[in-house]
Structure 1
Amino acid sequence: MSLHELSAVLWRERELLDVLLYKLEVERLLLATDRRRWLGRAAHEIEFLTARLKEVGLARAVESAEVAEELQLPAEATLQELADAVGDEVWRDILLAHLAALREVTGEISELRDANEQLLKQAARPAGVAQHAARRGTTTYDARGLTRDVVEATLVDEET
C-alpha cells in the first residue's frame, strides 16, 4: 500500500504548516510593535510557504488517490474516509492523528491570518488619513520665506 508514502507527504505538509504558523506569528508581532521594516520579508516568506504548500497538496492528492484506489474508494476520498476504510488499526490511528493535527494547525493559521489582516487594516488607516490630508493640503511659504504645510487651503476666484 501507499500508506507509507501518504503519511510521509502528510508529515511534510504538517511541517510546512507549522512553519507558516510561525511566520504568521512573526508577522503579527511585527505589526503589533509597528516594526514595518521586515514586513515585506515576512510577507514574501509567507507567500513562498503558501506556494510550497500547494506543491505538497498536489503530492498529497496523488498519494491519497493511490491509497483510495487500493481501498476501492473514489479518488477524491477524504483523509477521514481513507482512515475509516483502512483495515490496519495502526494505520487508521496514524491517519486520524494526521487529520487531527492538520485540523488544529489550519484552525490556528486561519485565526492568526484574520488577526493579521485586522492589524494591517489598522496600520493602513492612519497612513490613509495622512495621505488624504496631504492631498487636501499644500505646502506654501510663510512671511519669513520658510515652507509650511497648509492643511485647509481655499482658492479665491477674484474675477467673479
Structure 2
Amino acid sequence: MKAPEGITHIWGGGMFRFKDSLKNKFSLTVDSSSNTVTLTGQSLQTEDTAVYYCAHLHSVCCDIRLDQTPSQVKIPGHSVKVSCTISGYSMTSSNIHWIRQKPGNGLEWIGRMNTGSGTDVIYADSLKGQFILTEDVSTSTQFLEAKSLRSEDSAVYYCARQTH
C-alpha cells in the first residue's frame, strides 16, 4: 500500500493548483456559498483506483519534516516499535497523531501525544491498551509501540503533526 499523496491544494480566494502530472486528470470546483469543494476525475484508469480524502490544513509554514521508520514485517504475537522523528520546529509546540490504514480500508486514528509532555496522551477508545505512545525529547522522536500483534494489525502506520 502506498502512502497518501497530495493531488492539489486550495488557498485564499479559492485558488488551486494541481500537481503537474495530474493537471489533465482531475478538475476542482469550489462553492464558497456552501463551503463545498468537489474533485472530479476525467478518463480515469484502473491505476487511479484509490481512496480519495479531503483534508483541511490549519496552517502551513517552515521546513517541517516527520521522518518515519522504514517498513517492517512482524508475525502475530510479536511486538513492534515504530518511530517518528521531528525536525524543523520545536517539539513542544504541537501534537503528533498516529493513524493507520488497513488494506482496503479508510484511515483509523490510533491516538495522539502532546509533544514534549511525555504524559499528555489520548487513545482511540476502540484501541486502548493495544498501543503505547512514548517520546524521547533529546532526539525529537515519538514512538508507537504495539505488543502482541494480531494479524488484523497489518496496516500502513502514519504520524502526522497538529499545531496548537
With normalisation by structure 2, the TM-score equals 0.22
Point out which structure has higher relative CO (alpha carbons under 8 A, 6+ apart). Answer: 1
Higher strand share: 2
Structure (1/2) with the larger helix percentage: 1
Larger Rg: 1
Length-normalised TM-score, structure 1: 0.23
